[in-house]
Structure 1
Amino acid sequence: MSINVLYLAHDLADAAIRRRVLTLKAGGADVTVAGFTRGRNLLEGEPGVRTIVLGETSDGKFAQRIGAIVKASAGLKSRLAGIDRPDVVIARNLETLALAGQAARLFDRNLPIVYECLDIHRLLLDEGWKGRLVRAFQRHFGRRAQLLITSSPAFVENFFQPRSGLSLPVLLLENKVLALDPDSLPLQPTPRAPKAGEPWRIGWFGAIRCAKSLAILTDFARRMDGKVEIVLRGRPAYSEFADFDRIVADAPHVTFHGSYQNPEDLARIYDEVQFNWAIDFFEEGLNSEWLLPNRLYEGGLYGAVPVALKSTETGRFLAHRQIGVTVDKATPEALEALFSQMTPEIYAEQFARITSVERGQWITGPADCRALVAKLASLKPDLRSPAEMQAASTMQS
């Protein structure tokens, strides 16, 4: 099924954006991406994908991002001139949702709009005037949406249903590994217990944005004195750390190996570790409690045993499947107690459990890509008048 998708991206340097665009392409869609940059555009040079840069934004600078949205809005008509008429507009995150209605009107004001939200920003959960304002902003711009795409049922249960003011059908798309040729994946990961005298290795891969996790892991590695090594790979959110590079350089038994390509490098990097750090305190008590992170699925596919907090959605995901290692509290002391008792036999049992999970739990395959595009193609034009949409927004609030 072929449809034209206009994908509005909040961050062209985000590997998850690239993964979604490749998913849409594999499902039969023609995709044009218009978005903001916060680093290298990972879609630059991607065959068959046109990318349009709307401006530059910065991590952790909400006011700057609002300014970038306003500026992009003023120039949106010229930026999108000449692209094919889309059949659907997808807005990734709240900042691009603000542009979605305007983008649709440039072609046909009735075009269906999809709101894709895979993280709940702390401001959306704030109980003060700022939070009320941001939720009103989301409610106003979300009144044109026909579908919500999100990645964790806990986001729906804890925010979208009770607090967002949006009333939208939900499509749950977990952060699974994109596998366009599932037959090319390794038939079965192999156990990789360390040789005598070598450390256990815990990988923390992907979006590295949690200062508390870094503090816990560096302290823990110091306590273990060479019995455990922490391996970091991915894209640090430098705005969240006092001095990420210095902290890592000064920490014994902690190494950072930079960025990697997803999904192309996943088998290699996960094969180098036994355990997978699946704990996050970036939005502690809120988003961090509810998310199901990319690394959960990546490590699951390649046999890295996840380490998670029992009280979180990730912990419940693991408990339901009887896999992984969970702790009541993520402290250096708790991790030290856990890994001081770790043996090749315990690891082998945990490895066997995770590799026994059916592969479809971890991957998005070609059939899933086609199903997503078919769902988007089934959306009907929005024939409500502006007054009717405003009334719906008021009722939802």
Structure 2
Amino acid sequence: MLQILYLAQDLADPAVRRRTLTLVAGGANVTLAGFRRGGSPLATVGGVEPIELGTTADGRFAQRIGAVATACLSLKSRLGGLRKPDLIIARNLEMLAVAKRAVALFGGDVPIVYECLDIHRLMLRGDMVGRALRAAEARLGRDARSLITSSPAFIEHYFRPLSGIEAPPMLLENKVLEIDGSTLPAPAPARYPPPGAPWRIGWFGALRCRKSLHLLAEFSRRMEGRFEVVLRGRPAYSEFRDFDGFVQNEPFMRFGGAYRNPEDLAEIYGDVHLTWAIDFFEEGQNSAWLLPNRLYEGCRHARIPIAMKGTETARFLAVRGIGLVLADANADSLVALLGSLRPDDFAEAADRIGRCHPATWVFDRSDCETLVRRLATLTHDAPQTIIPAAALAEARHNESGLL
């Protein structure tokens, strides 16, 4: 059984939970270690008890650097009693530093996989700070056996031209994890609202975009109750002046709190008709390149995704002939896109999504097992094949989730 040490920057991150469940379902024996983000509670994940290495604060980069340094100094006391892993997966740049220290602790011959699903704006700066961070990433990731990322655009726009990471990339999309479909509620049929009831737009997941919040609020007011906005997930309170107060003062917007992924997806998507798959948090950079979780979650439940023109998400939808694309980031454009939405339009759009193969949206147990087998090959000395640029273009059409 493959022994994996998974190092995570935020142990309470739902994406960390999903990745841990994925590895366990694939047959790996996983040790999860990392940082607690603020006061976030920690819980056992798929029978895996997390090991806390310290506490970090959202949006405080300097504090996180200090926490990483402290963790590296105390790593022997935290991980010294563990069985030597076959492989270490380091999620994000700071965990690469911890992974390098862990390799030394375990004897210097444990392969590292670098997992990076977002490109922080600091990494893209053209000044001394950006160059220093990219140099650190290249140095720490010099011996990485593989790079896991979630969008072809991250490879095309960052990892190939800027990062200095030479590890072969593995595309692992943010699909819905359905290990045992029979244990999860089935997706509810896509039904339009009855006469007089509002259309509902769901914005779920990591809520960190002020521009989206204000745009959706203005749009819902303009539509005078014909549309409601439902928010679920984890607000990044450091990015909002007063998230809770703002939402409470909006007549057509409500926040329903956090949810479990994938257990609660059928319930929360069953309550909406459209999915907000737009993010302006790092506009023109990470936000333009990512393929968000809610894209796959919403489409899995035949809810109509709304993407922003010129983004990787919009290109993904165009290839499949589904979804709606917002031309400009303002309320007038959103009114033009949705204001005349009719039940027949919705039914046709939902039907087009339903005709896509389920593997477009779902990562099942066999996919988990394939991933773990592929990771196991990285523990051998056989050279890894670097994917040529042409294959990246084909990735937009790829529905298996693994390159």
Q: CA deviation at 1:108?
A: 2.4
**2:274 matched residue in structure 1:** 275
Aligned equivalent of 2:75: 76
Deviations 1:296-339 (A, max 9, x none): 00001011100011210000000000000112112111111222
Alignment CA distance shift 1:182-1:5 (3 Å): same
CA distance in structure 2 between the aligned counterparts of 1:375 and 1:381, rounded to whole angstroms: 11
Kept in 1, the 8 Å contact 2:145–2:167? The answer is yes
Taking only aligned residues, the RMSD between alpha carbons, in angstroms, comes to: 1.5
Work out the CA distance in 2 between the residues paired with 1:373 and 1:41.
29
Question: What is the distance in 2 between the residues matched to 1:329 and 1:279?
Answer: 12
Contact preservation (8 Å) 1:7, 1:34: yes
How far did residue 145 of structure 1 move? 0.7
Q: Tell me how far 1:251 sits from its aligned partner.
A: 1.2
How do 1:111-122 and structure 2 match up within 5 A? 111-122=110-121
Q: Who is 2:242 aligned against? A: 243
Q: SS of 1:83's equivalent?
A: coil
Counterpart residue number, 1:92: 91
- In structure 1, what is the equivalent of residue 297 of structure 2? 298
Partner residue in 2 for 1:392: none
- Other-structure match for 1:332: 331
Deviation per residue, 1:64-100 (Å, 9 max, x gap):
1101101111101110021111000000001101111
| Contact 1:18-1:43 within 8 A present in 2 as well | no
**Other-structure match for 1:359:** 358
| AA of the residue aligned to 2:363 | T
- Segments of 5+ residues of structure 2 without an aligned counterpart are 383-403
What SS is found at the alignment partner of 1:68?
helix
Distance 1:188 1:54, change over 3 A: closer
Residue in structure 1 matched with residue 400 of structure 2 by the alignment = none
Structure 2 letter corresponding to 1:106: L
- Residue 375 to residue 367, structure 1, CA distance change in 2 (3 Å): same
Q: 1:54 to 1:207 in 2, by over 3 A?
A: same
Are the aligned partners of 2:56 and 2:64 in contact in 1 as well (CA < 8 Å)? yes
1:307 matches 2:334: no
CA contact (8 A) 1:188 1:355 kept: no
SS at match of 2:141: helix
Indicate conservation of the 8 Å contact 1:308/1:315, yes or no.
Answer: yes
How many Å apart are 1:106 and its aligned residue? 1.2
Alpha-carbon separation, structure 1, partners of 2:331 and 2:251: 14
Q: Which amino acid aligns with 1:251?
A: E
Q: Distance in 1 between the 2:11 and 2:308 partners?
A: 31
The percentage of counterpart residues that share the same residue type is 55
Structure 2 CA distance for partners of 1:255 and 1:176, relative to 1, 3 Å: same
State how far apart, in whole Å, the 1-side matches of 2:146 and 2:209 are.
30
Deviates more, 1:324-333 or 1:38-47: 38-47
Residues 348 and 365 of structure 1, relative CA distance in 2, 3 Å threshold: same
1:369 is aligned to 368
For residues 38 and 354 of structure 2, the distance between their equivalents in structure 1, rounded to whole angstroms, comes to: 35
User: Aligned to 2:166, what secondary structure does the other structure show?
Assistant: coil
| Secondary structure at the counterpart of residue 162 of structure 2 | coil
What does the per-residue CA deviation read over 1:211-239, in whole Å, with 9 as the maximum and x for residues that have no partner? 11001011111111100000000000000
User: What is aligned with 1:391?
Assistant: none
Q: Compute the displacement of 1:246 (Å).
A: 1.1
Give how far 1:144 is off.
2.1
Kept in 2, the 8 Å contact 1:202–1:277? The answer is: yes
Q: Which residue number corresponds to residue 25 of structure 1? A: 24
For normalisation by structure 1, the TM-score amounts to 0.93
Cross-structure match for 1:225: 224
Q: Is 1:202 matched up with 2:201?
A: yes
Moved more, 24-33 or 36-45: 36-45
Instruction: Determine the structure 2 residue equivalent to 1:343.
Output: 342
Q: Distance in 1 between matches of 2:263 and 2:114?
A: 28
Distance 2:14 2:341 in 1: 33
Alignment CA distance shift 1:269-1:173 (3 Å): same
What residue number does 1:390 align with? none
* Partner Cα distance (2:346, 2:184) in 1: 23
